[in-house]
């Protein structure tokens, strides 16, 4: 049985389907990385309104176009649910859930923390079977397939065991943040607000952070399935969990309407430290 082909990092799955899905996601991420690197325009320019009713930046449109072109080139029969184009029925049984650039505002302002997020699955977030989040600045790849664990550049990752004397929380803060966000931030030994949910959750998966807390007062700022389908799979495969603010296991349908706040954590004991 042939090994997976190489795509910028060492690949590891031996199962043919796992190989094919990972190779596909890696190729798509390569195309996004190329599109971002080659982009000659102004990241700030708004070129329309996306499927969720938010402005679409030129860099988002370019990244999405690169993915769609690669799917056409490869004749992949995957439906697509994207932050910008919405749902595209391409005659497939499975859907690619895509956020072309997560952390667009970071990219626009020159903050080096943004990614592309892609998951493949059926129906809802818990139906995702393969997920990839690529850090578009460092080129690092977080990947998981359901039941097979989570990996960072081919090395297996796990969530961190809680050390109450050395906690690091990532928390959504700003003018739309609920006041509880500031209480949560103050309960960590250290707190960060980084601005790209997929990477925030992957940091929890790899043990770099203990918790990611998202609680927005504004519906438009809450998270969508395109933001977190991949990172939720990666985190769960690394031993962590994603719940809503009522601490119920979070699932979100593959649609353009549902939004949610959330808590993503590694060691469940960290929930005892937050209000």
Instruction: Determine the Cα–Cα distance for residues 51 and 44; give it in Å rounded to an integer.
Output: 18
Average pLDDT over residues 45-49: 73
Angle between helices 58-74 and 16-38 (to 10 degrees): 140
Pairing state between β 168-171 and 211-214: parallel
Instruction: Determine the Cα–Cα distance for residues 179 and 153; give it in Å rounded to an integer.
Output: 37
pLDDT number for residue 1: 26
Per the prediction, the chain carries an average pLDDT of 92
Residue 241 DSSP SS3: strand
Judge contact between 80 and 87, C-beta under 8 A. Answer: yes
| Sign for the pseudo-dihedral over CA of 198, 202, 208, 211 | positive
**How many residues are given for the chain?**
275
**Ranges of each domain in the chain:** 16-157, 168-273
Instruction: Determine the Cα–Cα distance for residues 156 and 163; give it in Å rounded to an integer.
Output: 21
pLDDT number for residue 151: 97
- Just give the CATH number of 16-157: 3.30.540.10
Average pLDDT over residues 45-64: 81
Instruction: Determine the Cα–Cα distance for residues 198 and 119; give it in Å rounded to an integer.
Output: 11
| pLDDT tens-digit series, residues 136-177 | 999 999 999 999 999 999 999 999 999 999 999 999 999 999
Q: pLDDT band at 9, cuts 50/70/90?
A: very low
Average pLDDT over residues 173-190: 97
| pLDDT tens-digit series, residues 249-272 | 999 999 999 999 999 999 999 999
Q: pLDDT band at 2, cuts 50/70/90?
A: very low
Rounded to the nearest angstrom, the gap between the alpha carbon of residue 126 and the centroid of all alpha carbons in its chain is 14
Instruction: Supply 147's token pair.
Output: 């039941």
Q: 3-state secondary structure string, 116-169? A: EEEEEECCEHHHEEEEEEEECCCCCEEEEECCCCEEECCEEECCCCCCCCCCEE
The residue that leads in pLDDT, 84 or 46, is: 84
pLDDT number for residue 47: 67
**From 50-64, 103-117, 216-230, the region with the lowest mean pLDDT:** 50-64
Side by side, the strands of the sheet bearing 241-243 are 190-192, 168-171, 211-214, 262-265, 241-243
Give the number of other CB atoms < 10 A from CB of residue 223: 22
Instruction: Determine the Cα–Cα distance for residues 176 and 219; give it in Å rounded to an integer.
Output: 9
Q: Judge if 16-157 and 168-273 fold alike in CATH terms.
A: no
Instruction: Determine the Cα–Cα distance for residues 133 and 118; give it in Å rounded to an integer.
Output: 6
In 3D, which of 213, 224, 245 has the Cα closest to residue 87? Answer: 224
Query: Residue 260: beta bridge partners?
Result: 223
Q: Which CATH number fits domain 168-273: 3.30.565.10, 3.30.70.20, 3.50.50.60, 3.40.190.80?
A: 3.40.190.80
pLDDT number for residue 45: 76
Judge contact between 99 and 227, C-beta under 8 A. Answer: yes
- DSSP character for 95? E
Percentage of the residues of the chain whose pLDDT score is greater than 70? 93
Q: In this model, does residue 13 exceed pLDDT 60?
A: no
pLDDT number for residue 11: 46
**From 8-12, 24-28, 198-202, the region with the lowest mean pLDDT:** 8-12
Average pLDDT over residues 7-13: 46
Judge contact between 134 and 32, C-beta under 8 A. Answer: yes
Q: pLDDT band at 123, cuts 50/70/90?
A: very high
């Amino acid at each position: 049985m042939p090994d997976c082909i190489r795509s910028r990092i060492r690949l590891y799955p031996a199962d043919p389907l796992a190989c094919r899905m990972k190779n596909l996601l890696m190729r798509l991420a390569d195309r996004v990385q190329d599109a971002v690197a080659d982009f000659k325009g102004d990241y700030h320019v708004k070129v329309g309104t996306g499927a969720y009713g938010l402005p679409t930046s030129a860099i988002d449109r370019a990244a999405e176009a690169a993915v769609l072109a690669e799917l056409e080139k490869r004749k992949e029969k995957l439906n697509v649910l994207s932050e910008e184009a919405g749902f595209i029925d391409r005659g497939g049984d499975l859907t690619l859930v895509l956020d072309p650039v997560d952390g667009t505002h970071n990219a626009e302002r020159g903050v080096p923390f943004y990614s592309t997020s892609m998951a493949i699955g059926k129906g809802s977030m818990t139906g995702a079977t393969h997920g990839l989040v690529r850090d578009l600045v460092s080129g690092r790849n977080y990947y998981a397939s359901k039941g097979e664990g989570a990996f960072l550049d081919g090395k297996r990752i796990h969530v961190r065991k809680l050390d109450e004397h050395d906690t690091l929380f990532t928390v959504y803060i700003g003018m739309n943040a609920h006041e509880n966000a500031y209480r949560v931030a103050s309960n960590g030994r250290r707190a960060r607000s980084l601005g790209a949910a997929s990477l925030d959750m992957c940091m929890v998966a790899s043990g770099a952070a203990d918790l990611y807390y998202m609680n927005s007062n504004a519906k438009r700022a809450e998270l969508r399935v395109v933001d977190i389908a991949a990172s939720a799979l990666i985190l769960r495969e690394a031993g962590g969990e994603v719940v809503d603010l009522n601490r119920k296991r979070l699932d979100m349908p593959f649609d353009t309407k549902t939004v949610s706040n959330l808590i993503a954590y590694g060691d469940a004991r960290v929930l005892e430290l937050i209000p």
